[in-house]
Amino acid sequence: MALTGLRIDGRRPGELRKITSTTSVLSQADGSAYLEHGNTKVLAAVYGPREARHRALVVHDRAILNVEFNVAPFSTGERRRRTKNDKRLLEMASFIKQSFEPVVIAALYPRSQIDIYLQIIQQDGGILQACINAATLALIDAGIAMTDYVCACTAGWVEREAVIDLNHIEESSDTSEVTIAMLPKSNKVTLAQMESRLHVDKLEELLSLASEGCKQIHQVLDKTIRDRAEDLAQKMAV
C-alpha cells in the first residue's frame, strides 16, 4: 500500500473497479449478459423456464434452479483445463444457486427448470461477485420474475486497511476477504462466504464496506437494465 493511501492498481480503498455490462448478447439463450469487472470477464446465459432434464428432479409446485460453471482454459495466467466436475467449480455453482433461490419467484413456473450457465472468459479476482452480478442481469434479461436484484461485492483486509473489490494480486497475497451477496432494496444478505482467518470486530467493518459496494454495483446494474429497456422501447415505438 503506497504512502499515498492508494492500492496497487491506483484505486482508493473504497473504490470499485470499472464495470461494463451489456445484456442480450447471445442469440439462442432466453436471457444473457456479458459483464467486465476490471479485468474479470464473465458471460452468463439463462435458459428456461423449460422442461427438466431428469424427470426425477421435477418439483410439482415450483421451478428448480440449476447453475453450471465453465472456465475457459486460457482464463488464468497458466493454462489449465478444468474437467466438468471440478470440486471448486461445483462449490461456486452451489453458492450462486443458494443466493438466487430466495430471489427468483419459482412458484410462478411449477414443474420446470431454470438453467444459469456461467462462462468465465478471464480471471482477475472477484470471480464469485462477477458471476452473481452477471447472473442477475441474465435472469432479468430472460424476463424471470424476481423480488429484487442480487448484487455481490468482495471486501478484504489488505495491509491493515479495509478495501473492497479485491483484484487477483490482492486476493493471492494472504489477505482475509469476504464475499457477500445482498438484496439492495431490503438490505438482506443472501450469501456471505469467507475462507480465511479474521478478527471478529474487523468483520463488522468489512460487512458494512461490502454492503456499501453492493449499493454502488446495484446502480450500475440498474442503469444497464434501464438503458436496455429504453432502447427496446424506442425500437418498438418506431
Partner 1 sequence: MPSLISPAERDYILKGIECNVRADGRQRPDYREVTIETGVVSQTSGSARVRIAGGTDVLVSVKAEIGPVQVDPETGDGADKGQIVCNVECAPSASQQFEGRGADDLNNELTQMMSRFLSHNTNTPAHKSSSTEAGAPAAPAGPGGINLSKLCIIPGQQCWVLFVDALVMDYGGNLMDAIFMGTRAAIYDTRIPKTEVQDLGDGQFEFEVLDDAEDTDIVEGREDMPICVTLNKVSDHFTILSLE
User: Distance between CA 21 and CA 44 in Å, rounded?
Assistant: 11
In contact, 152 and 181? CB cutoff 8 Å: yes
Among 2, 5, 10, 27, contact with partner 1 (rule: CB under 8 A) = 27
Binders of partner 1 among residues 81 to 120 (CB under 8 A) are 81, 115, 117-119
From 134, 138, 133, 148, select the one nearest 114 (Cα to Cα).
Answer: 138
Residues in contact with 128: Cβ distance below 8 Å, sequence separation at least 6, in sequence order? 92, 95, 96, 152, 154, 179, 193
Give the x/- contact pattern for partner 1 in 59-88, rule: CB under 8 A.
---------x-x-xxxxxxxx-x-------
Q: How many residues bind partner 1 (CB under 8 A)?
A: 30
- What cell numbers appear for 25 in the block? 448478447
- Among 7-15, 35-43, 88-96, 218-226, the segment contacting partner 1 (CB under 8 A): 35-43
Burial of 40 (0-12, 13-18, 19+ CB in 10 A): buried
CB of 128 to partner 1, least distance (A): 18
Residue whose CB is less far from partner 1, 67 or 183: 67
CB of 78 to partner 1, least distance (A): 8
67 C-beta neighbours (distance < 10 Å), count: 22
User: Distance between CA 224 and CA 12 in Å, rounded?
Assistant: 24
CB of 68 to partner 1, least distance (A): 6
Query: Residue 58 interacts with partner 1 (CB under 8 A)?
Result: no
Residue 168 CA to its chain's centroid (Å): 16
Query: Residue 134 interacts with partner 1 (CB under 8 A)?
Result: no
Binding stretches for partner 1 (CB under 8 A): 25-29, 32, 39, 41, 43-45, 47, 53, 68, 70, 72-79, 81, 115, 117-119, 121-122
